[in-house]
């Protein structure tokens, strides 16, 4: 085990993403307290592949709803297929109804 301080934060948030919903790196970064760490979220996701329990990285996309990280999966269609299985409409590596399926941790997790 390693001290994935920032990574663990990202992993937890990503794991909290409900099925049929997606979020952006910036949203997670901002939820962590620093919007500038959006890249760090993506960097953490790179380690997510070896993280356990595995995080639904396929539910994390960029601000455009584009599946930028699909190249890191075993197969390019892997990410799209999983999102489709969740009920998310994906077209041309892009999440359709992105605004509808968008899940903002800073809002959903901040009920009070």
Alpha-carbon span 6 to 32, nearest angstrom: 8
Q: Does 93 bind DNA (CB under 7 A)?
A: no
Q: Which of residues 15-54 bind DNA (CB under 7 A)?
A: 24-27, 29, 34-43, 45-49
CA distance linking residue 63 with residue 18, whole number of Å: 18
Instruction: Write each residue from 52 to 91 as x if it is in contact with DNA (CB under 7 A), else as -, in one continuous string.
Output: -----xx-x-xxx---xx-xxx-----x------------
Peptide bond into 53 cis (omega under 30): yes
- Comparing CB distances to DNA, the nearer of 34 and 112 is 34
Give CA–CA dist 9/15, Å, rounded: 10
The site for DNA (CB under 7 A) is made up of 2, 4-7, 24-27, 29, 34-43, 45-49, 57-58, 60, 62-64, 68-69, 71-73, 79
């Amino acid at each position: 085990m390693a001290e994935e301080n920032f990574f663990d934060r990202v992993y937890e948030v990503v794991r909290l993403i409900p099925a049929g919903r997606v979020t952006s790196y910036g949203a997670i970064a901002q939820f962590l307290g620093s919007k500038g760490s959006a890249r760090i979220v993506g960097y953490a996701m790179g380690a997510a592949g070896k993280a356990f329990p595995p995080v639904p990285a396929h539910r994390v996309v960029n601000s455009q709803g584009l599946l930028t990280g699909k190249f890191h999966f075993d197969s390019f269609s892997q990410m799209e297929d999983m999102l489709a299985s969740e009920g998310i409409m994906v077209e041309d590596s892009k999440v359709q109804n992105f605004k509808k399926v968008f899940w903002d941790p800073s809002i959903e997790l901040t009920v009070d």
